[in-house]
C-alpha cells in the first residue's frame, strides 16, 4: 500500500490499492500545468493567492486602523488619504477590505474543514455499512435520516437559527456553518464509498481480513478524495458568502471587526444617496473571492475527469484554428 | 422577391419588446404609482412607514405604527392648545405653564367641553360634548369614559402605568355623575392629572361597541380592538393588513373639523432607502424615519423637503448600576466625558439634532442644563477613572439595536474614544425584538435607548426614567433623595415648589450620571412640498387630521 497523491487516483484504472506510487511532485506539476494552460482556472488561483496574501500582510502594512473610528473622516469618498473612502463611523474602507480575509477566510476554512472531516468520516462508514443487517445497518440508516432532517431546512435559515441560539461570535459561525455543511460531505463520501466498496481491490482487502477502519483508511477514502476536495474549494466560497450573509443580517461577527458582509450591511443604505463606496468595495472583494474559490473547485473537478483533462487548452484550439498545427 | 404583408394585429418579438418597454415606462411614472395607491391624489395622503401598527389597541402596544395611527381613530378628553413653532408654517403644543388655568396649562376642550378642577388638586369633573358619535354610530356618554378607565385597571397593559401616574386609587375613582358628566377623585393631589388625561395612551373607547364584541374569554374586547377601532376620532379604519398597509377614511359624522385628507394610506416599506425613493418619485407624500444622509439628500429636491422640529426624542446609553464598575459614580462620569457628542451630531446625525445636555427633553418646563458639564474631555475622564480606582480601565459590553442604523456607527465611535481611557467595550448588535427584551430585563451593562416622555412635565419625565420604582428605570438607578424630590414634584400643586424639586433632582441625577448623554435627535418629517399643516406633538407622532395639501 502506498500514500499515493490523491489527485492521481481518481481514474478507475489508476486506483492505488497497493500498486505503484506516483511521486507527488510529478502529479502536482502535471496539475499545475493543466491549470496554467487554462486562464479560466488560473484566474481563480491568482485571486485567492492575492486575497490570502492581502489578509496576511495587512497588519504590517502602513494602513489606517481597521477598527478605530475617525470622527473627522465621516463618509469620505475615495481619495489619496483613503483610497476606498470611509464609512459612517469614519472607518477606512481600504484597510478594512484588506483585513477582512483574516476573518472571512478563517471562518470559511475552519468550518469547511470541520464539515468535511465530520461529514466525510460519517459518510465513509455509512457507505460501507449501507444495507448491512444489525447495528451497523441501523446506525447507517439513522445517520442518513438525520441528514435528511438537517437538509430539509434552507441552509441559510438553519445557520441563522444556530447562530441565534449559540450567540454572536466567530466560534458560533464556524460551528453553524460546519453543521449545515456536514450532510453535503456525508452524501458525497457515502456515494463514493458505495461505488468503491464493490471494487475488486476492496473486496480483496476485506477477504484478507482488513477491518472496516482499515478498509476506509487505506483503500476507500484515498480514492474518494478528489470530489471531496473539489467540493471543499467550492464550499469555502459558499462559506465566505454565508458568513457575509449572516453578518449582513446582524448575526455575524461583532462590529467593528473587519468583515465583508458586515461592511456591506453598514454601507448599503448609503448607496441610494450616492455614497456607494462603503458597500461596493467589500462587495467586489467578496464576489471576487467567491468566484476565485469557484474556479479552483472547477479546476479540480475538471482534472479529476479524464475527458475534461484531455480537452485541448484554449491556446491549442487557437493554434489549431490558425493552422499552425494542433495538440 | 417575396414580400410579406403584415397585419396591424400581427405580434412579433419586437412589438412585444416595445410593449414591454412602454408598460415599464408607464409603471415607472410617479403618477401611475400613486394612482395604484389611490384614485384621488388631492384628497389622499400616502405615507411610507417602517411598519404597520402591531396593534390598534394602545393598551396592547405603543410601537411605532400604533403611535402614528391611534390619534386618527380616537379622541381624548382634552388636548394642548397649539402655538406657532420656530419653523415657519409649523405649529406645536403650547407647553407654557399657566397657573391661572385649571391644571396649570393652556388646555383645549376635545371630547370634554368643560371641566371643574378642584383647588386641592384631588378631583376633576368633566362635562362631555353632546351628540358626539363613534365610528360605530354610538353616542359618547360618561359610561364610555368610565369603561375606558375600568379597562385600564383590568387589562393591565399601558393603562396600569397611566392609572398609577394619574393617582387613581381604583376603579371607583372614576364615577359617572350623569349621562354627560364624569368625575375623577384621587386620594392625594396630583398636579399633572389634567395633562395626563391628554396623553396618547388615554383615548376614550366606545363602550357600547366594545361590550358588544366582548366574549367570555375576552371580556375587554382585546382581540377586537387589536385589529379594529371603536373610538370618537376623525377617521375610521377601512382595512389593515399587517406587514402591508393600513387604510383610514375620514368620517363624515365626526364632531370636529373635517380633516383635509379623506383617505390615508399607511404603507409598510421596511427599507428607508426605498421610502426615500418613493418620496422622491412622488409616489408617497410622507416618508418616515429616514436616515440622516437620506434626509440630507433631499436638500436639492424640487418636490420633497424635510421639516425639522425641536422634539422630545432623546438618545442615550443606559449605564446599568447593577454592574461593576458602573456602580461607581466617577466611572459613570468618566464615561460621559468620553462621549464625543459634538462629532456624533455633526457627522452621524448630519446636524439633524443637537448635543444632549439635560436628562429630560430640554424644552419641557423645568428642564435645565445648568448642571451639565459633560463635554468631551479625555483627560478629565482619565483622572475620574483614576479617582474611581480603575486607572487602567476595564472591559464591559455595549448593546445596540440592529434596527436603528445610527447606533452602530455611534457605538464604534464611542468604542474608539473609550480606548483612549483604557476602557474596552465589546459591541453587541441585537435584533430589534431581542434588543427591547434586553433593555426591559436590564440584562446588559450598557445599552442604547431612544425614547421620549410623552407628557411634557419635569416630574413625569424624571419619574419615568430615574425613580427607583419606575419600570423604565433601565439603569437600575436609585437615589433616595432624588426619589423623594420626584415624589414631591408629583404631589404638590405649587408650581414654584414643583420646579424647585425637579431642579434639585436634576442636579443629583446629573452629578450621578446614570446615562451617557448623546443627542436630542429631533423630529424630522420628510414630505412632499405640497404637504402642509404640520403640528408637532411631544409623543412624536403623525397626526393625519392636521395635514393638508397646500
- At residue B51 the predicted structure's pLDDT band, cuts being 50, 70 and 90, is confident
* The pLDDT of residue A304: 83
Residue A266 near chain B (CB below 8 Å): yes
C-alpha grid cell for residue B146? 368610565
What's the CATH fold of domain A93-310?
Answer: MetI-like fold (1.10.3720)
Lowest mean pLDDT across A57-71, A186-200, B152-166: B152-166
Residue B395 near chain A (CB below 8 Å): no
CA distances from residue A15 to A4, A41, A53, A226, A231 in whole angstroms, order as listed = 9, 26, 36, 12, 20
Residue A168 near chain B (CB below 8 Å): yes
Tell if the CB–CB gap between B412 and A271 is shorter than 8 Å.
no
Distance from CA of A67 to the nearest CA of B (A): 8
Helix pair angle (A135-152, A170-196), 10° resolution: 130
User: Is residue A20 over pLDDT 60?
Assistant: no
Q: What is the mean pLDDT of residues B4-33?
A: 46
Name, in order, each residue with C-beta under 8 angstroms of A318's C-beta and a sequence gap of 6 or more: none
* The pLDDT of residue B211: 97
* The pLDDT of residue A169: 84
User: Is residue A4 over pLDDT 50?
Assistant: no
User: Is residue B317 over pLDDT 60?
Assistant: yes
- At residue A324 the predicted structure's pLDDT band, cuts being 50, 70 and 90, is low
Domain architecture of chain B: domains with CATH: 40-53+60-72+233-310+523-549 (3.40.190.10), 75-209 (3.90.76.10), 314-520 (3.10.105.10)
Q: What is the mean pLDDT of residues A217-225?
A: 91
Residues in chain A with CB shorter than 8 Å from the CB of B277 are 272
Residues in chain A with CB shorter than 8 Å from the CB of B406 are 88
- At residue B28 the predicted structure's pLDDT band, cuts being 50, 70 and 90, is very low
The answer to whether B186 and B168 have CB atoms below 8 angstroms apart is yes
Residues in chain A with CB shorter than 8 Å from the CB of B348 are 74, 88-89
* Run of H or E residues at B391: none
- Across the interface, of A91, A270, A274, the residue whose CB is closest to B412 is A91
Q: What is the mean pLDDT of residues B64-69?
A: 87
Residue B298 near chain A (CB below 8 Å): no
* The pLDDT of residue A25: 60
- Residue B171 DSSP code: G
Tell if the CB–CB gap between A274 and B273 is shorter than 8 Å.
no
Distance from CA of B343 to the nearest CA of A (A): 6
Number of other residues whose CB lies within 10 A of the CB of residue B278? 23
* The pLDDT of residue A15: 43
- Across the interface, of B340, B402, B406, the residue whose CB is closest to A250 is B402
Tell if the CB–CB gap between A254 and B415 is shorter than 8 Å.
no
- At residue B432 the predicted structure's pLDDT band, cuts being 50, 70 and 90, is confident
pLDDT in tens, A146-167: 999 999 998 888 888 888 888 8
Number of other residues whose CB lies within 10 A of the CB of residue B51? 20
Q: What is the mean pLDDT of residues A1-7?
A: 40
Closest CA to B523 of B86, B200, B196: B86
Tell if the CB–CB gap between A90 and B347 is shorter than 8 Å.
yes
Instruction: State the average pLDDT for chain B.
Output: 91
The pTM score is 0.83
- Across the interface, of A87, A254, A256, the residue whose CB is closest to B428 is A254
Tell if the CB–CB gap between A256 and B419 is shorter than 8 Å.
no
* The pLDDT of residue A155: 86
The answer to whether B502 and B458 have CB atoms below 8 angstroms apart is yes
Where in B140-255 does DSSP place strands (E)? Answer: 174-178, 181-185, 235-241, 245-250
Q: What is the mean pLDDT of residues A130-144?
A: 92
Residue A90 near chain B (CB below 8 Å): yes
- Across the interface, of B273, B340, B412, the residue whose CB is closest to A256 is B412
CA atoms of B36 and B23, how far apart (whole Å): 14
Tell if the CB–CB gap between A69 and B413 is shorter than 8 Å.
yes
Residue of A nearest to B298 (CA): A273
Residues in chain A with CB shorter than 8 Å from the CB of B340 are 71
User: Is residue A65 over pLDDT 90?
Assistant: yes
Residue B328 near chain A (CB below 8 Å): no
Instruction: State the average pLDDT for chain A.
Output: 87
**Percent of chain A whose pLDDT exceeds 90:** 59
- Across the interface, of B296, B405, B427, the residue whose CB is closest to A255 is B427
Instruction: Identify which of A162-176, B269-283, B372-386, B425-439 has the greatest average pLDDT.
Output: B372-386
* The pLDDT of residue B78: 96
Closest CA to A178 of A110, A232, A234: A110
pLDDT in tens, B89-109: 999 999 988 888 877 888 999
Q: What is the mean pLDDT of residues A187-209?
A: 93
- ipTM of this model? 0.77
User: Is residue A290 over pLDDT 70?
Assistant: yes
User: Is residue B5 over pLDDT 50?
Assistant: no
Distance from CA of A133 to the nearest CA of B (A): 49
Residue B431 near chain A (CB below 8 Å): yes
Size of interface A-B (CB pairs under 8 A): 80
CA atoms of A65 and A92, how far apart (whole Å): 7
Lowest mean pLDDT across A156-170, B23-37, B149-163, B490-504: B23-37
Sorted by where each begins, the domain ranges of chain A are 93-310
More confident residue, B136 or A32: B136
- At residue B18 the predicted structure's pLDDT band, cuts being 50, 70 and 90, is low
A189: Cα within 13 Å, side-chain hemisphere: 31
Q: What is the mean pLDDT of residues B13-36?
A: 47
pLDDT in tens, A87-134: 999 999 999 999 999 999 999 999 999 999 999 999 999 999 998 888
**Percent of chain A whose pLDDT exceeds 70:** 91
Whether the link from the prior residue into B325 is cis, omega within 30° of 0, is: yes
Amino acid at each position: 500500500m502506498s500514500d499515493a497523491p490523491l489527485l492521481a487516483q481518481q481514474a478507475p484504472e489508476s486506483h492505488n490499492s497497493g500498486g505503484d506510487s506516483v511521486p507527488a511532485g510529478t502529479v502536482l506539476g502535471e496539475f499545475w500545468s493543466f491549470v496554467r494552460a487554462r486562464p479560466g482556472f488560473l484566474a481563480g488561483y491568482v485571486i485567492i493567492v492575492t486575497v490570502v496574501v492581502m489578509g496576511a500582510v495587512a497588519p504590517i502594512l502602513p494602513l489606517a486602523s481597521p477598527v478605530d473610528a475617525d470622527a473627522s473622516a465621516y463618509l469620505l469618498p475615495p481619495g489619496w488619504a483613503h483610497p476606498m473612502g470611509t464609512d459612517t463611523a469614519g472607518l477606512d474602507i481600504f484597510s478594512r477590505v484588506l483585513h477582512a480575509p483574516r476573518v472571512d477566510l478563517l471562518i470559511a476554512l475552519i468550518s469547511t474543514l470541520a464539515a468535511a472531516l465530520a461529514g466525510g468520516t460519517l459518510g465513509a462508514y455509512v457507505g460501507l455499512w449501507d444495507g448491512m443487517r444489525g447495528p451497523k445497518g441501523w446506525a447507517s440508516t439513522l445517520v442518513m435520516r438525520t441528514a435528511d432532517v438537517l437538509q430539509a431546512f434552507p441552509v441559510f435559515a438553519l445557520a441563522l437559527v444556530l447562530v441565534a441560539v449559540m450567540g454572536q461570535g466567530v466560534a458560533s459561525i464556524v460551528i453553524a456553518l460546519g453543521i449545515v455543511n456536514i450532510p453535503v460531505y456525508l452524501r458525497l463520501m457515502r456515494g463514493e464509498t458505495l461505488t468503491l466498496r464493490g471494487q475488486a481491490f476492496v473486496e480483496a482487502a476485506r477477504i484478507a481480513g482488513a477491518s472496516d477502519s482499515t478498509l476506509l483508511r487505506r483503500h476507500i477514502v484515498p480514492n474518494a478524495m478528489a470530489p471531496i476536495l473539489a467540493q471543499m474549494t467550492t464550499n469555502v466560497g459558499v462559506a465566505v458568502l454565508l458568513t457575509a450573509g449572516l453578518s449582513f443580517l446582524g448575526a455575524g461577527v461583532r462590529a467593528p471587526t473587519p468583515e465583508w458582509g458586515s461592511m456591506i450591511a453598514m454601507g448599503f443604505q448609503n448607496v441610494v444617496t450616492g455614497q456607494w463606496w462603503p458597500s461596493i468595495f467589500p462587495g467586489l472583494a467578496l464576489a471576487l473571492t467567491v468566484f476565485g474559490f469557484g474556479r479552483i473547485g472547477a479546476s479540480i473537478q475538471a482534472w479529476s475527469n479524464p475527458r475534461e483533462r484531455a480537452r485541448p487548452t484554449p491556446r491549442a484550439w487557437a493554434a489549431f484554428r490558425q493552422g499552425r498545427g494542433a495538440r | 422577391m417575396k414580400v410579406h404583408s403584415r397585419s396591424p394585429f400581427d405580434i412579433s418579438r419586437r412589438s412585444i419588446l416595445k410593449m414591454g418597454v412602454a408598460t415599464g415606462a408607464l409603471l415607472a411614472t410617479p403618477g401611475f404609482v400613486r394612482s395604484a395607491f389611490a384614485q384621488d391624489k388631492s384628497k389622499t395622503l400616502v405615507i411610507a412607514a417602517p411598519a404597520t401598527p402591531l396593534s390598534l389597541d394602545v393598551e396592547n402596544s405603543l410601537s411605532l405604527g400604533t403611535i402614528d395611527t391611534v390619534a386618527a381613530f380616537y379622541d381624548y378628553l382634552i388636548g394642548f392648545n397649539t402655538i406657532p413653532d420656530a419653523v415657519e408654517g409649523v405649529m406645536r403644543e403650547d407647553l407654557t405653564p399657566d397657573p391661572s388655568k385649571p391644571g396649570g396649562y393652556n388646555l383645549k376642550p376635545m371630547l370634554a367641553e368643560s371641566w371643574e378642577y378642584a383647588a386641592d388638586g384631588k378631583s376633576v369633573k368633566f362635562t362631555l360634548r353632546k351628540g358626539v358619535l363613534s365610528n360605530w354610530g354610538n353616542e359618547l356618554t360618561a359610561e364610555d369614559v368610565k369603561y375606558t378607565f375600568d379597562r385600564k385597571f383590568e387589562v393591565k397593559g399601558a393603562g396600569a402605568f397611566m392609572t398609577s401616574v394619574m393617582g387613581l386609587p381604583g376603579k371607583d375613582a372614576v364615577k359617572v355623575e350623569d349621562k354627560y358628566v364624569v368625575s375623577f377623585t384621587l386620594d392625594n393631589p396630583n398636579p399633572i392629572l389634567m395633562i395626563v388625561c391628554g396623553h396618547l395612551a388615554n383615548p376614550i373607547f366606545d363602550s357600547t361597541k366594545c361590550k358588544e364584541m366582548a366574549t367570555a374569554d375576552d371580556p375587554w374586547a382585546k382581540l377586537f380592538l387589536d385589529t379594529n377601532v371603536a373610538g370618537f376620532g376623525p377617521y375610521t379604519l377601512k382595512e389593515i393588513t399587517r406587514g402591508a398597509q393600513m387604510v383610514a377614511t375620514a368620517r363624515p359624522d365626526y364632531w370636529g373639523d373635517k380633516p383635509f385628507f379623506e383617505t390615508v394610506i399607511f404603507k409598510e416599506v421596511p427599507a428607508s432607502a426605498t421610502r426615500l425613493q418613493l418620496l422622491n418619485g412622488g409616489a408617497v407624500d410622507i416618508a418616515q424615519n429616514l436616515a440622516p444622509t437620506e434626509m440630507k439628500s433631499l436638500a436639492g429636491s424640487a418636490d420633497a423637503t424635510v421639516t425639522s422640529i425641536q422634539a422630545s426624542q432623546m438618545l442615550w446609553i443606559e449605564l446599568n448600576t447593577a454592574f461593576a464598575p458602573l456602580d461607581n459614580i466617577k466611572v459613570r462620569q468618566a464615561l460621559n466625558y468620553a462621549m464625543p457628542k459634538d462629532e456624533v451630531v455633526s457627522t452621524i446625525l448630519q446636524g439633524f439634532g443637537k448635543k444632549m445636555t439635560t436628562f429630560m427633553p430640554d424644552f419641557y418646563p423645568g428642564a435645565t442644563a445648568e448642571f451639565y458639564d459633560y463635554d468631551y474631555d479625555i483627560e478629565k475622564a482619565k483622572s475620574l477613572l483614576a479617582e474611581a480606582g480603575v486607572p487602567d480601565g476595564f472591559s464591559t459590553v455595549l448593546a445596540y439595536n440592529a434596527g436603528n442604523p445610527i447606533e452602530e456607527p455611534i457605538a464604534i465611535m464611542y468604542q474608539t474614544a473609550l480606548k483612549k481611557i483604557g476602557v474596552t467595550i465589546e459591541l453587541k448588535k441585537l435584533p430589534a425584538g431581542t434588543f427591547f427584551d434586553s433593555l426591559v430585563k436590564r440584562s446588559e451593562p450598557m445599552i442604547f435607548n431612544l425614547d421620549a416622555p410623552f407628557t411634557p412635565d419635569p416630574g413625569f419625565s424624571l419619574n419615568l426614567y430615574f425613580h427607583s420604582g419606575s419600570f423604565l428605570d433601565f439603569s437600575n438607578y436609585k437615589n433616595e433623595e432624588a426619589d423623594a424630590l420626584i415624589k414631591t414634584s408629583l404631589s404638590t400643586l405649587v408650581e414654584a415648589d414643583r420646579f424647585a424639586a425637579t431642579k434639585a433632582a436634576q442636579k443629583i441625577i446629573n452629578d450621578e450620571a446614570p446615562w451617557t448623554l448623546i443627542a436630542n435627535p429631533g423630529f424630522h418629517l420628510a414630505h412632499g412640498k405640497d404637504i402642509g399643516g404640520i403640528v408637532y406633538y411631544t409623543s412624536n407622532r403623525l397626526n393625519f387630521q392636521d395635514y393638508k395639501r397646500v
